[in-house]
Amino acid sequence: MKKPNKKDNVNLFFSAFLVLAFVVCAHFFTQFTNTLTSNVGTIISIALYVVFGLLLFYATRVGDGKAVKRFSLVTLIVMVLPALYIIISSMAAGLPLHDVFASDISGNVSLIVSLAGIVLGYGIPYTFLSGFEVADEEEEAASASPVLEGGIEADLLENDDEESAENEEVVDEEISSEEENSVE
């Protein structure tokens, strides 16, 4: 693992600052939601927790290399769907476990629903992205070519390769005909 440079340290600092600033802003939003009706306040509070989960995902996924994109069915089943069910059942009275997940008497969102919102916010991008992949220096050097894939340069290189292959065939034919002539 390479030692973090100054740019990495600055990025980590700003990520931590962003998370702390969001916590302070979320506190004021939750105080505001206490003045709203029960359902609207609950939805806004859950949305705040989901955004906090998204923020945590991006703050903890700081790294070098290129982003690895993949779909993880396991993460979807284990993290996202249960969190989504907890959030929905906390608001829908007819669903099983509504009594367990429903908000308390003061109208605040229960702790389990708060955590489910954070898990949902963290789990959605984690289902499709898994962080960063650092390629080996040898692989980078081997894969780094002066010409990008496609475009005019690639066509020119392909034409050069085809012409050189044709020239080699012509030279091979000339050499073989000279050898036949010299044998006779």
Q: Regarding predicted confidence, which is higher, 161 or 120?
A: 120
Residue entry with tokens 């496609």: 150
Question: At 147, is the pLDDT very low, low, confident or very high (cuts 50, 70, 90)?
Answer: very low
* Pair of tokens at residue 72: 């993880």
Residue predicted with more confidence, 15 or 47:
47
pLDDT at 81: 93
- Give the pLDDT mean for 50-69: 75
Q: For residue 143, what pLDDT is reported? A: 56
| 89, 95 contact by CB (below 8 A) | yes
What is the dihedral sign for C-alpha 78, 121, 119, 128? positive
Of 26, 33, 36, 38, the C-alpha closest to 107 is: 38
Averaged over 175-181, what is the pLDDT? 66
Average pLDDT value for residue range 36-60: 84
Which phi-psi region, left, alpha or beta, contains residue 151 (left: φ > 0; alpha: ψ -120 to 50)? left
